[in-house]
Every structure is written in C-alpha cells, then in structure tokens.
Structure 1
Amino acid sequence: MNIIKRLVAGIAFGAVAATGAAAQDPIKIALIHGLSGSAFEAFSKQAQTGFEMGIEYGTDGTGEINGRPIEIITKDTQFKPDVARAVLAEAYGDDEVLLAVGATSSGVTVGMLPIAEEYEKILIVEPAVADSLTGPDSNRYVFKTSRNSSMDMQAQALALQPDENLVVATLAEDYAFGRDGIEAFKSALEGTGAEVVTEEYVPQGTTDFTAYAERMFNALKDREGRKVILIYIAGGGDAPGKIQAMDPSRYDIEISMGGHILPVLPTYKRFPGMEGAVYYYHEAFDNPVNEWLVKEHKARFDSPPDFFTAGGMSAALAVVKALKEAPDYETETLIETMEGMSWDTPKGQMTFRPEDHQALQDMLHFKIRVDDAVDWAIPEKVRIIPADEMDIPVGRNNQD
C-alpha cells in the first residue's frame, strides 16, 4: 500500500471510529508547490514525494499522530506569486489546514509570507532557498527547513579554500535566489584575502551567456593567482557548458558551481575534479533516516532519492516531531515547540534557530568523479561541512 492509499485509509478509519470521534479528526496539512508552468516542476514533485515518505517514516507507517490521521492537501501555485497567495489563503481559510509547507521558487514564496501572518498560521518553507525568506520582511509564523543561500555559498566558499591567491567572477540569476546567494558568497570571503572582481546577473530563462562571459573573462584574464568563475544558477540554459565552450582555460580560468539534482548531474561529467558544495547527495550521509530513504526510494522508484526529496522528507519529519511534542495544536503552542527544536533528517540533525526560524544544517563538500558505469557525474564526498562551521547571518530577531 503506498503512502497516499495508507493516508486515505487512515482518514476513512478516523471517520467511522466509534470512540474519540473528535480525536480522530484529520490533521490537515497543505503542500503549496508549483506543479505546472515551469521547469522547476521537477523540484516540486521531488519535495512532495519526500514529504509523503517523511510522514510515513515519522509515523512508523501509520500516517497518524496521536491517533489522528494526516491529510495532505496539495495546491498548485503555477509558479505565480498571486496564485500562490490565493491558494495559501484558501488552504488556511476554506480548507482549515493546521499548517502549510511550500513553495518551490523563492520569488513566489516571498509573496506567501504575509498570508501566514494574516491568518496567524505556520508556513514551513521548503524547498525555496533565499535568505530573505527568514529576513526582515518575514514573520514569526514562518519556519524554514530548506537551506538558505548563505549556507550554499559559505559552503561553496569553504570548498574553494579561499585565500589571497583567489580571484572570482560571479554569475547568477537576477532575482532573490541569485542576488542573496552572491551577497552570501562575498560575506563568506570576508577576511580570507580572496576577492570578487565582478558580478554578472542574468534574467531568468537566459540562454545566451556570451556577453556576460566575455565581461568576466576580461575582468579575470590579467589577474594573478587562481581565477574562478562561480556560477549560481538554478534554472536551465546550460550556463556552465556554454561558458566552458568559450574556453576559459586559455586564460587559466576555471569554473566552479554547487551541486544539482540528478537529471542535471550528467552535464557535470564535463567538469571532472571540480570541487563545490551541495545540500545533499544520497551516498554522502550515513544515518538511519537516510538509509531508509535510499533503500525505499530505490525499491519504489528504481532510482536514488534526489536532494529535493531529502528536503521534503526533512520538512515532514519536522512536522511530525512538532506535532508529537506539542501539548496542543494552537499556533502559539506550535511556535513555542518548534523554536530551538532539533530533529533527525536524511542529512543528519537540523535545528530551528529561535531568532529567525532558519533550520541550521550540515552541507556537503564534494569533488566530481566520473564513472562510465554511472549515468551522472558523482559528487563524491570530500567532507561534511558541519553547521557550526558556517556563520549564517540571522535574518530577523523574533524577540524584537
């Protein structure tokens, strides 16, 4: 029986149970993700699969917490901020969900934050990344299980082993994800002696990177030291491949970037030996939660879990932990329970920082290995970068 059928069965049982009818009412949770209208749809589907598997794992297969079945209500943002706000309001209001989880795009999710505050209900951000989602414009009802741009880029900076010999040009998309990421990267380099010599920002959906690459080449080519183009682009367009095709090596310039989802990793075979940082790779984390996820995902889908799958599971396990520990399900009680809460995930323990509700977590420093027997490039573990090695800025202070 798959998890959806198990959850439906649990709901049906709760409806007909003769004892404790009120206690059997389902706990409604909304998944607010973009399911149509963007290439990022794959991220949403992974997150949903991971969330469902996380509920299964966290409830020992029952789909119930404290005798109450979990009911998952899925909403499609269509990757449009106005639609996202509307469906989140619908979930909180008409559907009367206890809490919501989402969304996929940082730019879309920003618009959802005030809706959580308006309805005074919890929004768990997963898998959107931007630091601003727990920043000054966020609010106390928002918790974030996904990593943020500062984690991405501090880990990326550590993987580059920065010193006064390192000069970098950056390329990112021109929206919250990209700009927050580059700001975080520059912050991580402070005090190391490394220098960012130019920053290029491209519109989402860009496919021609020629002019941007030429400007970066010109900024780097006459510099002494190790010269790196850092690419921080979540969408398509194949910026790394197109820039590499322009032969940056003629200027002794190398390309660096973070890891990616499995469907994109075959393109990384063009970069053997490249080092970077990533949120998750299924072979890199050794713990019981990840062992279960990898085994079950391979058995059910004939493939290993991807990193948004791990993210979705992490969000679900945070929900399960909070609902098991909270003495009641009033919003204020849940906030008090979740602030400072630690829980186990496929990538180890995470902790919600009380000040801004960002989940602090480890990251993976990898080196690309190419194996002809594997369809994708393998981001082989160099080491796990522990959460306490990264100085992640506090986005907002919930005590203010």
Structure 2
Amino acid sequence: MKHIKPLPLALFAAFAMTATGAALAAPDLKVALIAGKTGQLESYAKETETGFMLGLEYLTGGKMEINGRKLKVIVKDDQGKPDLSRTLLAEAYGDDKADIAVGTTSSGAALAMLPVAKEYKKVLIVEPAVADEITGAKWNKYIFRTARNSMQDALAAASTLKNGSVAFLAQDYAFGRDAIKAGKEALAATGSKANVVHEEYAPAAATDFTAPTQRLFDALKDKPQPRVLAIVWAGPNPMNKIADMKPERYGISLAPGGNILPVMKTWKAYAGTEGTINYYYGFPKNKMNDWLVAEHTKRYKAPPDMFTAGGMAAAAAVVAALQKVPSGNGDQMAAAMEGMSFETPKGLMTFRKEDHQALQPMYHFRIKKDQKNEWDLLELVREIPASELPLPVRNKR
C-alpha cells in the first residue's frame, strides 16, 4: 500500500491561512453614479463623472480602495429622464447592492430619485442638481448635497447688487423658475435695495431671444440705475445674442451667472462684465484644487470645469462617509454624515445638520480684458465665504 507523505506543518498552516483569508475577504464597496450622459446636459454629466473618478483616485492614492476594500463604481445614464432616474437608482440599490449613490444632472430627475433613497434606506449624494426643493420640501434624511443650490447661487449674486433695478431671464423649467424665485428672495435676505421689475422665461431649447429680450429692455429702460439684466441659463448661454441687441443703448448691463468654460470662452468681447460663479479653476487656492488643475490639464489638455470640481467634491463626501461607516448601513451613514466636513477643490465643505446641504464659498468674478490664453477668462473680485450667505432651512424635518 502506497502511503501519502503528509504536508509539512508550515505549508499546511500557510494553505489554511490563505483559504481562510479568501473566504473572509471583504466584499467590494459599491458606489452608483447616475448622470444624464445623453441629452441636453450631457457635457455637465461627463464633467461630473470625470471629476468623480479623479477624486476617488486622488483620495485613495490611486489604490481605489478604502480600508483595504476595493471601490467599484457603477455608472448609469438616466438621459435626464425622471422615470429612468428613479428606475436606475432602485436598480443600483436593489440589484447592484450599491452602498451609496451619487446623482444626478437634471433637477427634475434628481427630485424623482429622492423617494427611492428613502425606500431603500440608502444615502444619495446629489450632484450637480441645484433645485432648492431637493434639500427643501422634497428632502428626506438620506439626501445629502455637495452641489450648491439655487439659493446659494442667488445669495451670491444678490450680494453684488446693492440697489437699482433688476430683470431676470431664465429657462422655463424647474431649474430656471427655482433660480428666479430664489433670486428675488435673496435680494431681500441680503438687504439689497434693488427692485425686480420683470422676469422672462424662455423655452430651454430656445435659439431666438428677440421678443423676450425686447420685453426685458422695455421693462428696464426707464427704471433707476444701475439697470441689470440677470441671466440664469443651463447649457449654451444666450448672452451673446442679447448683447447683440445692444442693451447699453438703455444703460442696461448684463450679469451672467457662471457657466462652463466653453461657454464663457465666447464672452471675451464683454470684458469688465461681472457675475458670480460656484467654481472657476483659478480661484480656489488649496492642495486638492492644485492637483485637480494640474492633473486634468495634463490628461485632457484643458483645465477642470465647474462640474468636474463638483464630481470631485462628491467623491470626497463618498470616501469620508465610507470611512466613517464601512458597513454602508444607510441609517448609520446618514447619522454620521450630519455636520460632516470634508476637503474639496473649493476648500472645506460641511453638510449642514438641518438639511444636509453642503455649505461652501462662492465667487464674484469679472471677465478679463487681457486674456493670456483660451482658458484665461475670469479674474476674482472676491471670494464670498459661506458665512456671508444666509441660506434658509427649507425642509420640514
């Protein structure tokens, strides 16, 4: 009879440890990123995804893991459609077993996702949708937002308008109407004496602005100076077409909200025009933004845009949350994230305990006259700290 030679004790122990380790290996941490990668806001969505992945890379030192557990990112395209957004988030939490989710691009789509997070008791970090209702009337405890909201935009803009007359042009959908409502409230909240004399809403896909612009001019032309036409627009901005109608004839100045770099690149003819923006790559001075600007420019031959920075901020929140609650338990994570501060390309952000809106600085800019290159577009007038933005709590907690 042939005898089998027993394994050496050390080899057996090593084999046992390997088998045990494999059996006990922690599962991947799963993060769902939902964005409108096709549709009107696809450029915003693509920037968000780029910034999100760069953020995870930076924050994990290139390892793409947290506490030894691999990070798996599940990207889904909701096409900006609310029904699809809702379905994809349910799929992410249910079928994909995502520990946490981030999304989405359109405010309407983001609003549709909020009840799903509550149903599955999982955290949803909203980026980059801005509608106030997200952290207001439609909010629930699993909702956190790294994106700024409409009221933060409005408060920043209002801080630059001390008196005179203001008229608004915005898109005729949730984002535009929310922004103008916030704009009027912000003027009162900041103590501005500027009067709102008119507001116009144009279709989101409009290309001809002649009629609404003339109505805005007529409403402003005889009102007290300064006369400001504030433009709130997502996507290709109508400022050039409005400027072609020569608002200066009536002593009217344009006040564009910040936009993506390819749009602002067309504003060179309006040097000296001022506005406010939530991010411009040359404004924040911190280590994370320095890395983002350098790395993005190296890889993509252009500096990062506002939604790129937003994606990175969302990644920072995800990493901080999973470090605090590695289990991914939604209730524990929601509790741990209340009041949580985390570094972003804009500097330190803090999720306000009351409504989980990230408090953050904004920027007052002036379009540069002497632009050294195609992306040298804005100069900083002033950083507006979060402490100067009296953001109301709108939820019914």
- Note the C-alpha offset of 1:198: 0.7
Which structure 2 residues correspond to residues 107-126 of structure 1 after superposition, within 5 A? 107-126=108-127
Q: 2:29 aligns with which of 27, 40, 59?
A: 27
Q: Secondary structure of the equivalent of 2:21?
A: coil
Which structure 2 residues correspond to residues 147-296 of structure 1 after superposition, within 5 A? 147-160=148-161, 162-163=162-163, 166-190=164-188, 191-236=191-236, 238-296=237-295
Q: Percent identity?
A: 52
Contact 2:229 2:255 in 1 (8 A): yes
- Note the C-alpha offset of 1:235: 2.4
Mapped to 1, the partners of 2:242 and 2:297 lie a distance apart of: 35
- Note the C-alpha offset of 1:149: 0.7
Return 259-268 or 368-377, whichever deviates more.
368-377
Contact 1:269 1:377 in 2 (8 A): no
Q: Deviations over 1:62-114 (max 9, x none)?
A: 11111100000010101111111111111111111011100001121111111
- Say what the alpha-carbon RMSD is for the aligned residues: 1.6
Contact 2:274 2:364 in 1 (8 A): yes
In structure 2, relative to structure 1, the CA distance for the partners of 1:168 and 1:377 (3 Å cut) is farther
Contact 2:55 2:315 in 1 (8 A): yes
Which structure 2 residues correspond to residues 36-47 of structure 1 after superposition, within 5 A? 36-38=38-40, 40-47=41-48
Which structure 2 residues correspond to residues 140-151 of structure 1 after superposition, within 5 A? 140-151=141-152
Contact 2:50 2:311 in 1 (8 A): yes
Q: Secondary structure of the equivalent of 1:24?
A: coil
Q: Deviations over 1:283-334 (max 9, x none)?
A: 1110111111111111221211111110000000111111112364211110
- Note the C-alpha offset of 1:339: 0.4
Unaligned runs of 5+ in 1: 1-15
- Note the C-alpha offset of 1:26: 0.5
TM-score (norm 2): 0.92
Q: Specify the code of the residue in structure 1 equivalent to 2:374.
A: D
Q: Specify the code of the residue in structure 2 equivalent to 1:387.
A: A
- Note the C-alpha offset of 1:377: 5.8
Q: Secondary structure of the equivalent of 1:383?
A: strand
TM-score (norm 1): 0.91
Mapped to 2, the partners of 1:372 and 1:205 lie a distance apart of: 30
- Note the C-alpha offset of 1:181: 1.1
Contact 2:103 2:126 in 1 (8 A): yes
- Note the C-alpha offset of 1:17: 8.7
Q: Specify the code of the residue in structure 1 equivalent to 2:26.
A: Q
What residue is the counterpart of 2:76 in the other structure? 75
What residue is the counterpart of 1:9 in the other structure? none
Mapped to 2, the partners of 1:378 and 1:338 lie a distance apart of: 36
Q: Specify the code of the residue in structure 2 equivalent to 1:76.
A: D
Please say which structure displays the higher CA radius of gyration.
Answer: 2
- Note the C-alpha offset of 1:24: 2.7
Mapped to 2, the partners of 1:152 and 1:356 lie a distance apart of: 17
Return 206-215 or 95-104, whichever deviates more.
206-215
Contact 1:267 1:377 in 2 (8 A): no
Unaligned runs of 5+ in 2: 1-17
Contact 1:27 1:98 in 2 (8 A): yes
Q: Specify the code of the residue in structure 1 equivalent to 2:83.
A: D
What residue is the counterpart of 2:12 in the other structure? none
- Note the C-alpha offset of 1:208: 1.3
Q: Secondary structure of the equivalent of 1:294?
A: helix
Contact 1:368 1:377 in 2 (8 A): no
What residue is the counterpart of 1:48 in the other structure? 49
Is 1:388 the counterpart of 2:387 in the alignment?
yes
What residue is the counterpart of 2:358 in the other structure? 359
Mapped to 2, the partners of 1:59 and 1:306 lie a distance apart of: 22
Q: Deviations over 1:92-151 (max 9, x none)?
A: 111110111000011211111111111111111001111111111221111100001111
Q: Secondary structure of the equivalent of 1:229?
A: strand
In structure 2, relative to structure 1, the CA distance for the partners of 1:319 and 1:222 (3 Å cut) is same
What residue is the counterpart of 1:10 in the other structure? none
Mapped to 2, the partners of 1:76 and 1:213 lie a distance apart of: 35
Q: Secondary structure of the equivalent of 2:198?
A: strand
- Note the C-alpha offset of 1:20: 6.0
Mapped to 1, the partners of 2:212 and 2:273 lie a distance apart of: 22
Q: Deviations over 1:321-368 (max 9, x none)?
A: 111123642111101110000011000100001111110100111111
Contact 1:273 1:368 in 2 (8 A): yes
- Note the C-alpha offset of 1:371: 3.2
Contact 1:132 1:176 in 2 (8 A): no
Contact 1:30 1:72 in 2 (8 A): yes
What residue is the counterpart of 1:370 in the other structure? 369
Q: Deviations over 1:370-396 (max 9, x none)?
A: 335422461211111000100111121
In structure 2, relative to structure 1, the CA distance for the partners of 1:260 and 1:21 (3 Å cut) is farther
Contact 1:268 1:376 in 2 (8 A): no
